[in-house]
Amino acid sequence: MKSIFDKVSIVLVSTTHPGNIGAAARAMKTMSLKNLRLVNPLNFPSAEASVRAAGADDVLAECKQFSNLEEAIKDCDLVIGTSARIRGIPWPMIHPRECAKKISKKAYSSIAIVFGRESSGLSNEELQLCNMVLKIPTNSEYNSLNLAAAVQIICYEMYLVVSDINTIEYEKNNLVFISQEKMEQFYKNLEDCFIRIGFYDTNKPKKLMHRIRRLFNRAQLYESEWKILHGFISKIQEKTKNNHN
């Protein structure tokens, strides 16, 4: 199964400055994306693109070039165009965070996020090839966002969503909260350790164990964490066995 990073392609249309291509590749690689598609770049390959890529040369080397946008996106089942302008004809509009959540759905197998020319963006004809339009919220008095910076913002939002998904999957598959029965045993063993080392006087408790319970109940121990503490307490009990007797 493709990961989100594998199924998303960044498409740059008629980029005029090769440095922007390199900077976009760099932005992609920092966020684990690698699929770059270029439609009629004015100057590419270019030494300046390689310099601005700053180590993301593999993204440039593996990028695909196309003569028109239709060819570049024909294998995609979701195409999202980007635009900074309000169009005469209203388009379904989403923001970067919404976009990231949308592309995380397993229903899509190949996704294109399309960025237009530095000076004029995508034409209305090119936007007609897109399922929806993505707009990055900016200062209304100055919305001039560099191409590579725009790519970085979108890739960053995707990266956050994927990181959240991976965290949820990891916790679901690997982290299990311990039972209340084990917690009660933990508290008994911990209290025993406190008594053994002279830290806790049962005749003058001063609500110590109540506070300890509140601390660990709030933390909600995972099985792996409980095992560490259980082993630590067992070692203390072993070391203090003779003194206690």
Q: What is the pLDDT of residues 155-197, one digit of tens each?
A: 999 998 887 655 545 455 556 667 778 888 998 999 999 888 8
Mean pLDDT, residues 225-243: 86
Q: For residues 89 and 87, what is the distance between their CA atoms, to the nearest angstrom?
A: 5
Which of 26-30, 188-192, 196-200 ranks highest by mean pLDDT?
Answer: 26-30
Q: Which domains does the chain carry?
A: 4-173 (3.40.1280.10), 180-244 (1.10.8.590)
Give yes or no for a contact between 151 and 115, defined as CB atoms under 8 angstroms apart.
yes
Per-residue confidence (pLDDT) for residue 51, from 0 to 100: 96
Q: What is the pLDDT of residues 134-152, one digit of tens each?
A: 999 989 888 888 999 999 9
Q: For residues 188 and 181, what is the distance between their CA atoms, to the nearest angstrom?
A: 11
Per-residue confidence (pLDDT) for residue 95, from 0 to 100: 92
Neighbours of 132 (CB within 10 A): 16
CB burial of 57-86 (b: ≥16 within 10 Å; e: otherwise) equals bebbeebeebeebeebbeebebbbbbbeee
The neighbouring-strand residues paired with 82 are 134
pTM over 0.75: no
Token duo for residue 121: 């963006």
Residues 6 or more apart in contact with residue 171 via CB below 8 angstroms:
none
The neighbouring-strand residues paired with 222 are 177
Q: For residues 162 and 204, what is the distance between their CA atoms, to the nearest angstrom?
A: 52
Q: Where are the beta strands (DSSP E) in 90-171?
A: 93-94, 111-115, 132-134
Per-residue confidence (pLDDT) for residue 56, from 0 to 100: 96
